[in-house]
Structure 1
Amino acid sequence: MRARRRWLVATATAATLVLGGCAAVSDTSDISTSGAAPATREVPDGTGVWDADTVHEISVEVDDDAVAAMVDTYQETGEKDWIEATVTIDGETYDRVGLRLKGNSSLRGVTDDADPTELPWLLRLDEFVEGQSVDGSRELVVRSNSSATALNEAVALDLLAEAGLASEHAVASSFSVNGADARLRLVVQNLDEDWEAENFAGEGLLYKAEAGGDWSYRGDDPDAYTDVFDQETGEDDLTPLISFLDFVNTSSDEDFAAELPDRLDIASFARYLAFEELVDNFDDIDGPGNNSYLRYDVATGAFTVVAWDHNLAFGGSPGGGPGGGFPGGGDGERPEGMPTDRPTELPSGMPDGMRPGGGGPGGGSNVLVERFTAVDEWADLVEDAKADLAAELYDSGYAEEVLDRWSALLTEQAGDLVDAATVQEEADAIRSSIAG
């Protein structure tokens, strides 16, 4: 039976971390190791389409010409148009489902002859049919991964949940488009209104950092942030986000240290940074993909950094690379028509002197991360959290249990999609990373 996810309430997480570190006092302010904590919810294991104990069947029927036009539009403009599709999920058919490309580096260099069964997709059941959903969910993300099993992301998401941080339900699927041979694909929740309501209590606004953007302050005109952050939930309002970016970029060191705990969930952010380092995911908030969300809690007036995109966890490579995505796994081949290059160029149109939030290839240039870790007490908090997580997730044997469960699922239920030897090889690569 699948081990139950243990989601920690943010206030409890904060208390644990505060006890693990010591607050230091500067000449001008108390440096707090605690901060505003949002009203998070305890999330049980998924059911229905999110039951992770089974390999789900998802098939898509869509007009080939519509797909070709969609790819052409993306190649020419970068826009991701919605098209209509008929989608069957575990035997239940849904008409007029919204279908569009999902991803950034995973779509880099995508060609007209790309196999639709291999592309990364966002399925939105209610895009054209109001109220349409599956087991309470309206959106499903079909993830890309340069490994054959996507075990690295599946394991990372379960560990993220166990770490007490907001994660997504993830399931293995047999996925096909227009009757092509099915492929093993990991399907996860999209961070939308349904996800937010499941993970957080109270009113909030969710902002997604765009891959081509950065975390610079661009003034108080919301239009200046159009290609930088995208609001995912709530009534359109960038005011809290703009105010936060203004503070992060322009505050003095003294004010930053004194006031950030009132503006950000310090404890969970430290734990987030520690977690991403522990699972060796370079493509996080300060990686080349600028992967992160900011969730604003209306009641507390504070933000929480929310993790997103773990298909490069445990040393995964966007270009496949040796071992098909992470050391030792798979055959290293990418599907025909899919990109094989790691991003090497910074987005155009950046402010002078600024790098994107991810800092370009290799990351390391997010202004919030840089200023946060420049405060000794908070840098120590990250190190304390890393030690705590290593004990909780790795030394305890929990990560091994998660890996074994996912491996057994694929071996027992997905033998027609991936051979047992590949599952074992890729699992062993992750096991070596866990063992350190």
Structure 2
Amino acid sequence: MTRSRLALAAAASVVLILTGCSTPAATTTPAEAPVSASAASATLWDSSVVHSIAIEVDESQLRAALQSYVDSGEKVWVSATVTIDGTVFENVGIKLKGNSSLRGISVDSAAEELPWLIRLDEFVDGQEYDGWTELVVRGNNSETSLNEAVALELLELTGLASEEAIAAEVSVNGASDLRLVIQNPGEEWDAAEFGTDGALYKAEAGGDYSYRGDDPDAYADVFDQEAGDDDLTPLIDFLEFVNTASDEEFASGLGDWLDVDAFATYLAFQEIVGNFDDIDGPGNNSYLRYDESTGLMTVVSWDLNLALGVSNGGPGGGPGGGEAGGPGDGGDRPADGDRPGGGGAGGMAGGPSQGNVLSERFLADDGFAALYESALAELRSTLVDSGAAQAALDEWVAVLGTQSLVDSATVQAEAASVAEAF
């Protein structure tokens, strides 16, 4: 992985040196011959440069895919030619990605502004770029996506699982927009991030962490398995404990089911970056990762486009939902947050919340709440007080200075909004 690392111990005095990176030479390859970027020495997830992703797709098929979503909510794959930093991939699969970020779209929506999942090997087996097959073009209510880019950088500094992110000038049939592109949590991401055998379960927007019995079919619309051998047993057993254990059993036994230190850090991080659209937000945004060697679950953060001062109203706007939320989807979180210790460094007030049985029971226990408070103090020190957050923001602002789709005044204004959220 090539995202530049910020050293926490020296964050207060870090000097950022942005190194250039030449893009690979253009290569045109027929669909029947999969493209591998290794020969071009490409570095897909190099965040020190603004990348180029050009999508060419039959306009009628594109509009038919949008119509399908408008009519039924179905997200269909469409074949496209995708050029990444000069390397051409034929017969690539593209599909809409998101939930509330797709609200209000029509068949005439500007495709370059929509969230997409790009899968290089959807139609051509083995087709990959720099060892990766999936890219997510994220939706955001800001023009720069600086808030999510910086939040992901800080998430990585916590030691928790994160997704690499790059800025990219993304075009669809010639129309361009500045977008944040990140890794999609799936098989290849799971292998790279964890390196152990296990399973990855994605919580669906319409679901929750309730126990629905031991029939796997009962969880079909609640969790999707994204990595590992198809087996919901670890997930079901975990949810049964979380929902049915007595308070005493929960306090004494949760450590046998969950990495409690990592979960305390996860909750503290969401508070630090002011992300109400997390595990207990309206979109149920999270993954559960089961490690076969330890038998423990880990909660994985997902969807940070409403972190650090951005809401459905844009930078500094009113509360709203993230990828799976929306205005009016629930009650507002008090200004100091629902969690002990207040609103964190960001202190984002308001926003709908549906609650989550795991986080609620965790914070209701004095011992686990103390872990959370300790993690919150540690992250305030290492991420904010140290200067690491500002350093990460400065780095991303410098990178965006090399692109031409968003003017510098807008970049500076949105950077100021993110800095204020610290």
1:109 shift after superposition: 2.2
Give the superposition deviation at 1:77: 2.4
C-alpha distance in 2 between matches for 1:293 and 1:66: 32
Query: Secondary structure of 1:95's partner?
Result: strand
Cα distance in 1 for partners of 2:410, 2:278 equals 27
Q: TM-score, normalised by structure 2?
A: 0.83
- The answer to whether residue 178 in structure 2 is matched with residue 184 in structure 1 is yes
CA positional deviation for 1:218:
1.0
Report the alpha carbon displacement of residue 47 of structure 1 after superposing the two structures with TM.
Answer: 7.0
CA-CA distance at 1:81 after TM superposition: 1.2
Which residue of 2 is the match for residue 304 of structure 1? 298
Where does residue 419 of structure 2 map in the other structure? 431
Q: Which of 109, 113, 118 does residue 123 from structure 1 map onto?
A: 118
Pairing 1:342–2:326 present: yes
- Indicate whether 1:295 and 2:296 are aligned: no
- For residues 78 and 231 of structure 1, what CA distance do their matches in structure 2 show? 20
Give distance in 1, aligned partners of 2:113 and 2:384.
Answer: 32
Q: Which has the higher contact order (CA 8 A, sep 6+)?
A: 1
Counterparts of 1:2 and 1:134, CA distance in 2 = 16
Aligned partners of 1:283 and 1:139: how far apart in 2?
24
- Partners of 1:288 and 1:389 lie apart in 2 by 25
One-letter identity of the residue aligned with 1:4: R
Alignment of 1:35-434 (within 5 A): 48-180=43-175, 182-318=176-312, 321=313, 324-326=314-316, 342-345=326-329, 362-411=352-401, 413-414=402-403, 416-434=404-422
Amino acid in structure 2 at the alignment position of 1:326: G
For residues 170-209 of structure 1, give each alpha carbon's deviation from its aligned partner in whole angstroms, at most 9, with x where no partner exists.
00000000112x1100000000111111111220100000
Q: TM-score, normalised by structure 1?
A: 0.81
Alpha-carbon spacing, 1:263–1:133, altered in 2? closer, same or farther (3 Å): same
- Alpha-carbon distance in 2 for matches of 1:67, 1:82: 10
Summarize deviations over 1:44-74 as a string: whole Å, max 9, x none: xx97110001000000011122122212222
- The answer as to whether partners of 1:152 and 1:313 remain within 8 angstroms in 2 is yes
SS where residue 421 of structure 1 aligns?
A: helix
**1:288–1:361 contact (8 Å) kept in structure 2:** no
**Secondary structure, counterpart of 2:80 in structure 1:** strand
Letter of the structure 2 residue corresponding to residue 398 of structure 1: A
Q: Offset of 1:2 from its aligned partner? A: 7.3
Q: Secondary structure at the match of 2:71?
A: helix
Partner Cα separation in structure 2 for residue 287 and residue 430 of structure 1: 21
Could you tell me how far apart the structure 1 residues matched to 2:284 and 2:103 are? 15
- Structure 1 residues 5 and 210: CA distance shift in structure 2, 3 A: farther
Percent identity between the aligned chains? 58
Structure 1 unaligned runs (5+)?
8-45, 329-338, 347-359
Distance in 1, Cα, partners of 2:374 & 2:170: 41
Q: Distance in 1 between matches of 2:354 and 2:208?
A: 12
Matches of 1:188 and 1:251 in 2, distance apart? 37
**1:342–1:133 CA distance, 2 compared to 1 (3 A):** same
What SS class does the counterpart of residue 85 from structure 1 fall into? strand
Residue ranges of structure 2 left out of the alignment (5+ in a row): 9-40, 331-349
Shift in Å, 1:83: 1.3
1-structure distance, mates of 2:354, 2:362: 13
Task: Please tell me whether the aligned partners of residues 173 and 185 of structure 1 are also in contact (alpha carbons under 8 angstroms).
Answer: yes
